[in-house]
């Protein structure tokens, strides 16, 4: 993969191309870095909680943080995000309360989904963040449809759909790309090419030289960006969103990155990739790259790094403690949320169940310290 094919602004040592560098305020750069670190620290804690049995399942983002944070920073608040299941950084960058995200992992009464959605399948109307689903690529036509509706209504908004390299082999990718190209919908297709669709490598996914070039068949532009470079991701997304908002139609962004951890807490990546491969990508770590860039800009230091890590560790610990105190969702919502008004049969079933049902706090929560 030739380096010149990628939009890259920050190199692995933190040096940068001042001609390509977006002129973002220091506050935005620091906010972006804080969210990168927040996702990384949160990942480590959530995986630890899953291993302890405190939560049931987790999908980590290690290595892909810049894709999430950089792209979200480039959007307007009225824009809609259609995520896959590995986009916590997008929601947090949009200002989501960390407590709501952690509550989803516990599926308790603080969870807005009331325990009826899989962990990591984030979705919150308050931040225009559509709930993710497990089937690969199903969010792509949804993003295109919403963009088409906005265009008909004359609304100046953009939709952004996230998906992995594996989704480009699916029917929903073709349907969404084709419709968007024909009707020039204001859609940004953001492909996180993290080299693997769970265990299937990119070389077995497509014979195309790049994923970005697939956009040409649908009549619009495809661009490639270094997905471990927050500024490159921001610049590519901002250009695509601005073009879409101005009526220029869709863009496919191929963000070249790497999933440094497992696909999920149920995966063992050592079975299908080598330690040498992981080590090579670890040297391209998006957090290290952004940290070195901020240091060269005079915006960061070792002391600030230590303080940030301590702050975020304490924030996550306190939030977990608060969330774990919450009871399970009210059991009657299994019945009351089916119809606006309870049917006689549902009412009878609910009353019978409430007389016999019992919910207990999992004992495992008391076995392990935070």
Q: pLDDT tens-digit profile of 206-264?
A: 999 999 999 999 999 999 999 999 999 999 999 999 999 999 999 999 999 999 999 99
Dihedral over Cα of 226, 232, 234, 238: its sign: negative
Statement: residue 59 has pLDDT above 80: yes
**Mean pLDDT of all residues in 289-298:** 98
Catalytic residue among 40, 86, 224, 263: 263
List Cα–Cα distances, 306 to 107, 183, 301, 312, 364, in angstroms: 32, 50, 9, 10, 32
User: How far apart are alpha carbons 112 and 106 in whole angstroms?
Assistant: 11
At residue 218's C-alpha, the angle toward residues 137 and 131, to 5°, is 25
Whether residue 272 lies in the annotated active site? yes
* Tokens describing residue 129: 């963040």
Q: Which two tokens stand for residue 255?
A: 């963000």
- DSSP-derived letter for residue 363 is G
> Is 80 exceeded by the pLDDT of residue 359?
no
- pLDDT at 369 > cutoff 80: no
- Report residue 122's pLDDT band, with 50, 70 and 90 as the boundaries: confident
- Among candidates 142, 137, 172, 134, which has minimal Cα distance to 159? 142
Band (pLDDT 50/70/90 cuts) for residue 146 is: very high
User: Looking at 116, 272, 321, 361, which residue is catalytic?
Assistant: 272
pLDDT digit string, tens, across residues 99-117 = 999 999 999 999 998 888 8
Catalytic residue check, 218: no
Domains located in the chain, CATH noted: 3-324 (3.40.50.970), 333-366 (no CATH)
Over the stretch 45-56, which tens digit does the pLDDT of each residue have? 999 999 999 999
3-class state of residue 103 by DSSP: helix
Confidence of residue 2 (pLDDT cuts 50, 70, 90): very low
Residue 1 pLDDT > 60: no
* Per-residue pLDDT, 358: 57
Helices (H), 65-170: 65-73, 88-93, 98-106, 139-153
Using one digit for the tens of pLDDT, what is the confidence trace for 307-316?
A: 999 999 999 9
Q: What's the rounded Cα separation, in Å, for the pair 202 and 192? A: 12
Which residues does 283 contact at the CB level (< 8 Å), separation at least 6? Answer: 12
Distance CA 63, CA 40 (A): 9
Task: Catalogue the E-assigned strands of the chain.
Answer: 80-82, 159-164, 187-193, 196-197, 200-201, 221-226, 251-256
| Lowest mean per-residue pLDDT among 7-11, 291-295, 333-337 | 333-337
Specify whether 174 is catalytic. no
CB of 9 closer than 8 Å to CB of 289: no
pLDDT band at 363 (very low <50, low <70, confident <90, very high): low
Binned at pLDDT 50, 70 and 90, residue 4 comes out as very low
pLDDT in tens, 329-338: 988 888 888 8
Is the model's pLDDT at 361 over the cut of 70? Answer: no
Q: Per the residue annotation, which of 45, 54, 94, 259 is the catalytic one? A: 259
Is pLDDT at 73 greater than 70 in this prediction? Answer: yes
């Amino acid at each position: 993969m030739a380096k010149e094919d990628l939009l890259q602004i920050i190199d692995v040592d933190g040096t940068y191309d001042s001609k390509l560098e977006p002129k973002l305020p220091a506050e935005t750069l620091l906010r972006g870095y804080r969210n990168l670190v927040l996702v990384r620290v949160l990942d480590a804690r959530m995986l630890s909680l899953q291993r302890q049995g405190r939560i049931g399942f987790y999908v980590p983002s290690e290595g892909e943080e810049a894709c999430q944070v950089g792209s979200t920073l480039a959007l307007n608040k009225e824009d809609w995000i259609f995520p896959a299941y590995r986009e916590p950084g997008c929601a947090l960058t949009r200002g989501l309360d960390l407590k709501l995200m952690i509550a989803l992992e516990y599926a308790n009464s603080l969870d807005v989904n009331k325990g009826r959605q899989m962990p990591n399948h984030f979705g919150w109307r308050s931040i225009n963040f559509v709930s993710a689903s497990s089937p690969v690529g199903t969010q792509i036509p949804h993003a295109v449809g919403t963009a088409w509706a906005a265009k008909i209504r004359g609304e100046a908004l953009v939709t952004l759909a996230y998906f992995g390299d594996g989704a480009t082999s699916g029917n929903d990718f073709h349907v969404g790309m084709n419709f968007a190209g024909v009707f020039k919908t204001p859609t940004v297709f953001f492909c996180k090419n993290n080299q693997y669709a769970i265990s299937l490598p990119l070389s077995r996914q497509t014979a195309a030289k790049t994923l970005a070039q697939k956009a040409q068949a649908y009549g619009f532009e495809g661009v490639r960006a270094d997905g471990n470079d927050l500024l490159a991701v921001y610049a590519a997304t901002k250009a695509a969103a601005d073009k879409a908002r101005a009526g220029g139609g869709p863009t496919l962004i191929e963000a070249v990155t790497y999933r440094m951890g497992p696909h999920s807490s149920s995966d063992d990546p050592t079975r299908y990739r080598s330690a040498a491969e992981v080590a090579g990508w670890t040297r391209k770590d998006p957090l290290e790259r952004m940290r070195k860039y901020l240091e060269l800009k005079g915006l960061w230091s070792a002391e600030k790094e230590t303080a940030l890590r301590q702050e975020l560790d304490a924030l996550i610990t306190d939030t977990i403690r608060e969330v774990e105190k919450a009871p399970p969702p009210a059991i009657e919502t299994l019945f009351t949320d089916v119809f606006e008004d309870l049917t006689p049969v549902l009412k009878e079933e609910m009353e019978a169940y409430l007389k016999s049902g019992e919910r207990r706090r999992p004992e495992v929560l008391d076995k392990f310290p935070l």
